[in-house]
Structures are given as structure tokens and as C-alpha cells.
Amino acid sequence: MLIRISLIVAILAALAAGAVNIVLVKDKISTLVADRNTQHDGRVAAESEKDKAKKELAKAVEDLKQANQELTDAKTEDAKAVATAAEQKKRADDLSDKLAKTTQEREDVAAKLSAYVATGIPVEQVGKLSRALKDAQEAIEVANEEKIVLQRAVSGLKTRLAKYEGEDTTVRLRADLKGKILVVDPKWDFVVLNIGQDQGVLEDGELLVSRDGRLVAKVVVRSLEKDRCIANIVPGWKLGEMIEGDEVSPAHPAS
């Protein structure tokens, strides 16, 4: 009987030890699974950060390439603007010389005509001299118009050159420049004006839009033609709706 009791006690003790071992093993397994999951999550996060870093590096390299290309393009435009400005200045100087020469020729013709009239020379010769004087005057007018066009072109090129060289890029327009709105596009916020290159408008020049003495908006010239231009609204300067017939004047008049 004692042996049986001892055997039963031993079996119960073994079962108890096994239960304890099972609990310990289960806890250890749970700990190992948790560690494995943590390491897995860490690897996933590390791979994600690695991919993100690669993408950011690729974007930085692309941005650098684009910046280098833009710098190269700016330098090329700068060189072109300098060359064009020099060429336009030379043409303007040539026209000034031509104008001075033509003016002198007109004065000479006028002096000769006066001399002929004073000496009673036949009318036929006076008529020829008169035609020559008229031709000289027309040549002077043409030269003056060409000179004005070239001066405006040189002014525009100087403005572009100043922009590339980092100088004050404020475009100053003629103080007496006046115009009106011909067309309004409210969807794209641009207007067509009845003034252009012939009236002294310059690209990137800013104009104030007013109606009955009240400021409505400020626009900047983006496209320039001979007698009209297209301008966009300057952000933050739309104080009201623009309509056809609104008046425009320089925002930065030349002194």
C-alpha cells in the first residue's frame, strides 16, 4: 500500500513538473515569437527607409541635373542678349549717323534752294530742288522711325540683360503711356490691351488697371505685338473684375 501511494505521489510530482515545464516552454516560445516579429518589423522598416533614401537620392541627383541645365541655359541666353544688345546699339549708332548726314543734306539743299530763289534761277530747277528737299525730309522721317524702333528694342534687351545679371529688373514704362482693355478672359486671368511696341510697351512691364479713378487690378505684359499686347493679372492684385474699356497706365513710370 505504501509503495502504491509513493508511486502515485511520484506520478503526480512528474505531472506537476511537466506542467511547469510546459508553461515555461510556452512562455519562451511566446518570447521568441515576439522577438522574431520585432526583428521582422525592424527589417521591414529598415528596407522601407532604405528605399525612401534611394528615392530621395535619385530625386536630389535629378534636381541637381536640372539646376545645372537651367544655369547653362541662363548663361547661353545671357550671351545671346549681350550679343543682340551690341548689334542693336551698332544699328542705332549707324542710324544716328545716317540721320545726321541726311539732316545736313537737307540743310544744304535748303540753303541752295534759297540761293537759287534769290538769284532768280528758273522755276524748273527750283522744282527739282524742292523735290530733292522733300525726298530728304522723307528720308529723315524714316530714319527717325527706325531709330525709335531700335531704341525700344535696345531698351528691352537691356531689361532682359539686367534680369540675367541679377540687377534691378523693374521695367519702367513711359510716364505718358495710356491704354485700354480690348478683351478680358476671366477664366485664365489675362487681358488684351490696345497698346503695344509702337506705343512704348515693354515685355514684363507692369500696368495699373483703373475704372473711374478706382484701382481694379495690376497686370504684367507677357506677350508683345506692334500695336497690342497680352497681360496677366499680378497675383494678389485683383481688387475687382476687369471689363472692356478699363484704362491702364504704368505701375512704374520712367522718370
Last residue of a domain, one of 99, 132, 167: 167
Q: SS3 for 249?
A: strand
- Whether residue 184 contacts residue 244, with contact meaning beta carbons closer than 8 Å, is answered with yes
Q: Look at residue 200 and tell me if it is in a domain.
A: yes
Q: Which long-range contacts (CB under 8 A, 24 or more apart) does 110-116 make?
A: none
- Whether residue 223 contacts residue 215, with contact meaning beta carbons closer than 8 Å, is answered with no
Last residue of a domain, one of 167, 194, 227: 167
Q: Look at residue 246 and tell me if it is in a domain.
A: yes
Q: Are residues 219 and 101 in the same domain?
A: no
Q: Look at residue 174 and tell me if it is in a domain.
A: no
* Better pLDDT: 144 or 95: 95
Q: Are residues 69 and 130 in the same domain?
A: yes
Closest CA relative to residue 215, chosen from 233, 245, 237, 195 = 237
Structural domain that includes position 152: 1-167
Query: What's the whole-number mean pLDDT along residues 199-212?
Result: 93
pLDDT at residue 8, as a whole number: 72
Per-residue pLDDT tens over the stretch 159-195: 566 555 555 568 889 999 999 999 999 888 899 999 9
